[in-house]
């Protein structure tokens, strides 16, 4: 189930975008159109729902696309926000809400469906589930919730934003179970979720919140190559 919100004060544009998205023939995709940021936020708050993808015009009356997006971002770290911009308007705070992509006006249906496909692929990847067991209890975590895996003796510690889980196992057995386009091994006892990488230094990968993860010589080139393809996928062609 993928929910898309389109927010544009020009209803003609909004409708044509909706048509393109609905014509893409993706199972379980639903689309809602909003004519202003205020309306969208009100809807989100009253109905307690969220969308996976937001297609937002930057120029909106009353509350512009960027401040609307920043409210959305505060509550939802995983939402994909795609801005629709005019060639001339450059509003630079736009990067603070971590937009997924930009679409330039006039939006071509080709480009729109391309960006939509990339978004859906991104959601699919990050939404995959990692299953594990602690004692007799079975657990599951979405890939996007996992920051990194750390091997320690015969145990593996799963680090997430909400705490850690300790399971029995080996890093080498875990890496083969994961999606290599999202996870990369940096060291004999570390696997990182590339979505959380802030930068790559010579000997460490720096994750968000400045967490350093060591890189071993063996994995040095591998991690750089993997992250470059990850960024390329993220930024599009």
Which residues are near another protein by CB under 8 A? 90, 92, 94-95, 98, 102, 104, 195, 197-201, 206, 224-225, 227-229, 231-232, 234-237
Q: How far is the CB of 161 from another protein (least distance, A)?
A: 16
Nearer to another protein, 92 or 131 (CB): 92
Nearer to another protein, 74 or 202 (CB): 202
Most distant pair of Cα atoms in the chain: their distance: 61
Q: How far is the CB of 16 from another protein (least distance, A)?
A: 21
Q: How far is the CB of 157 from another protein (least distance, A)?
A: 24
Q: How far is the CB of 27 from another protein (least distance, A)?
A: 28
> Counting Cβ atoms within 10 Å, is residue 46 exposed (0-12), middle (13-18) or buried (19+)?
exposed
> Counting Cβ atoms within 10 Å, is residue 55 exposed (0-12), middle (13-18) or buried (19+)?
buried
Q: How far is the CB of 154 from another protein (least distance, A)?
A: 34
Nearer to another protein, 102 or 139 (CB): 102
- CA distance linking residue 227 with residue 193, whole number of Å: 10
Q: How far is the CB of 149 from another protein (least distance, A)?
A: 20
Q: What residues contact 53, with CB distance under 8 A and at least 6 apart?
A: 2, 3, 4, 5, 79, 80, 82, 100, 116, 119, 120, 123
Nearer to another protein, 94 or 112 (CB): 94
Nearer to another protein, 191 or 200 (CB): 200
Show contacts of 172-178: CB within 8 Å, 24+ apart: 174/149, 177/130, 178/130, 178/143
- CA distance linking residue 81 with residue 180, whole number of Å: 24
The full length of the chain comes to 237
Nearer to another protein, 95 or 131 (CB): 95
DSSP assignment string, 76-100: -SS-EEEEEE-SS---GGGGGG--S
């Amino acid at each position: 189930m993928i929910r898309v919100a389109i927010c544009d004060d020009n209803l003609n544009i909004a409708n044509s975008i909706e048509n393109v998205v609905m014509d893409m023939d993706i199972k379980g995709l639903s689309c809602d159109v909003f004519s202003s940021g205020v309306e969208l936020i009100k809807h989100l708050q009253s109905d307690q729902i969220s969308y996976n993808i937001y297609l937002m015009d930057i120029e909106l009356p009353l509350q512009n696309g960027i401040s609307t997006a920043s409210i959305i971002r505060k509550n939802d770290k995983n939402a994909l926000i795609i801005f629709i911009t005019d060639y001339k308007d450059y509003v630079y705070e736009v990067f603070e809400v971590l937009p997924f992509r930009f679409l330039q006006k006039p939006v071509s249906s080709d480009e729109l469906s391309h960006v939509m496909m990339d978004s859906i692929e991104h959601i699919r990847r990050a939404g995959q589930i990692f299953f594990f067991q602690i004692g007799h209890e079975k657990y599951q975590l979405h890939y996007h919730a996992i920051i990194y895996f750390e091997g320690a003796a015969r145990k593996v510690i799963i680090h997430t934003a909400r705490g850690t889980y300790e399971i029995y196992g080996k890093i080498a057995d875990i890496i083969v179970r994961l999606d290599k386009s999202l996870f990369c091994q940096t060291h004999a006892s570390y696997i990182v979720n590339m979505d959380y990488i802030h930068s790559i230094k010579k000997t460490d990968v720096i994750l968000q919140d400045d967490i350093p993860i060591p890189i071993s010589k063996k994995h040095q080139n591998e991690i750089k190559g993997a992250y470059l393809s990850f960024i390329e996928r993220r930024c599009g062609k």
